[in-house]
């Protein structure tokens, strides 16, 4: 009977050691997934920052073009009305 309990305890120890090893593997897998997710997040953030800067630059160019066209329209309007243009 004592031998049976020792065998049962040994089997239980083996089971627990196997579970610990599985948990270690699971932890490594989860850590890799978290790391991969973080890397993808930062890639997306950087890509969005670049896109934002490109949009700002395009916006500035567009605003300058509109401003210049508006100045030309005012100039032509003044010229047609005979106002003094400097």
* pTM beyond 0.85: no
Q: Report the percentage of the chain scoring pLDDT > 90.
A: 83
Spans of all domains in the chain: 1-60
Q: What is the DSSP letter of 4?
A: H
CA distances from 25 to 19, 31, 37, 86 (A): 10, 10, 18, 79
DSSP 15-83: HHHHHHHHHHHHHHHHHHHHHHHHHHHHHHHHHHHHHHHHHHHHHHHHHHHHHHHHHHHHHHHHHHHT-
Asked whether the predicted pLDDT for residue 85 surpasses 70, the reply is no
Asked whether the predicted pLDDT for residue 67 surpasses 70, the reply is yes
């Amino acid at each position: 009977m004592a031998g049976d309990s020792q065998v049962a305890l040994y089997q239980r120890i083996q089971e627990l050691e196997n579970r610990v090893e599985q948990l270690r593997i699971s932890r490594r897998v989860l850590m890799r997934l978290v790391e991969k997710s973080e890397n993808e997040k930062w890639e997306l953030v950087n890509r969005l920052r670049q896109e934002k800067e490109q949009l700002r630059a395009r916006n500035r160019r567009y605003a300058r073009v509109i401003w210049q066209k508006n100045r030309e329209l005012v100039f032509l309007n003044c010229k047609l009305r005979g106002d003094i243009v400097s």
